[in-house]
Amino acid sequence: MSSVALLADPAVGAASAGAAGRMMAFLDDFAGVFTLLSLTAVVTCGLAATDRLVLTPRLRVAMQSVHRASAVAALGFLVTHIAVKVVERHAAAQTAVVPFTGGAALAVSLGTIAADLLVLITATGVLRGRFAGSRRPWLWRVLHSMAYVCWPISLAHGLTAGRKAHAWVLWGYGLCAALVALALLVRALSCLGRRRTLSRRRRGAKAYRPAAVRPAALAALSTRSARPSTGARPIAWAARPAPPTTARRSAQSAGLPRQPKHAARPGPRPLYLAQPGGSE
């Protein structure tokens, strides 16, 4: 009963309404800014996760985790930003999904395009495994690269839509642009270094590749090696008997009865003595 009485109190109701109004005003002013900051973190960490010059494998994995978390945060701030604008009737409900509808201005439609692209990028990030197992794995890279289009469009939307931005907001947007430019520079240097490394390896492989021998030279070399040298006596190679172990294995493979390991060895050859009365 005490809680019901507190809610029925006009002073408490006015305080709650004032807190809700201040919260709505705060979200109206900063939800879009937080969305842009999160999107900047998404692009920057996504570019840094592919670096192989500065970051170690463990740091690259950490960057990928931050990249995914920033994408989830950007999507949450985007939903909040759109909900606040629709509740306060700053934009129509259909304008939040389809650009250039409901009499929306160009700046607001740019925000709608950026929002649609952000949803597409997040969906492709979640369904990356399915794209990798499909017949067209390159399609994921094309769709996920739409982040490079979404970020400048959202930046233009933040600078042109709504009220005039304060100086610190402009400085913040400039810092975001500098971070993305730095990440793009690192990505370009990484790709350039990788191409140089591959070209050096190819040059080294070509340098150590043995020269091709012509068939005529091979035929002459084989004829010269087969011809006996002058004055040399040809050597008649006699076939050596196979050792007992090899003979047993060949007999087993042929299906013959197995011979004992310690077979009786033949005795010594008899001596042929001269017959009595014969010539020695």
Taking phi first (over 0 means left), then psi (-120 to 50 degrees means alpha), and beta for anything else, what does residue 138 get? alpha
Residue 241: pLDDT band with limits 50, 70, 90: low
- Other CB atoms within 10 Å distance of the CB of residue 178: 10
Provide the pLDDT for residue 221. 56
Contacts of residue 77, Cβ cutoff 8 Å, sequence gap at least 6:
31, 32, 34, 35, 38
Enumerate the H helices of the chain as residue ranges.
2-8, 10-48, 57-87, 106-126, 128-132, 138-144, 147-160, 167-207, 215-226, 244-254
What average pLDDT does the chain have?
75
Mean pLDDT to the nearest integer, 64-84? 92
Question: Can you tell me the mean pLDDT for 81-89?
Answer: 89
Contact 112, 120 (CB under 8 A): no
pLDDT at 7: 47
pLDDT in tens, 13-28: 566 677 888 888 888 8
Range picked from 159-163, 264-268, 270-274 for highest mean pLDDT: 159-163
Q: Taking 70 as the threshold, does the pLDDT of residue 256 lie above it?
A: no
Angstrom distance (rounded) from CA 129 to CA 135:
12
pLDDT of 158 > 50? The answer is yes
- Whole-prediction pTM: 0.63
CA distances from 269 to 85, 240, 241, 262 (A): 114, 21, 19, 20
Distance CA 80, CA 76 (A): 6
The per-residue pLDDT for 80 is 93
Percent share of the chain, pLDDT over 70: 66
**Residue 90: its pLDDT value, please?**
82
Q: Residue 186: its pLDDT value, please?
A: 79
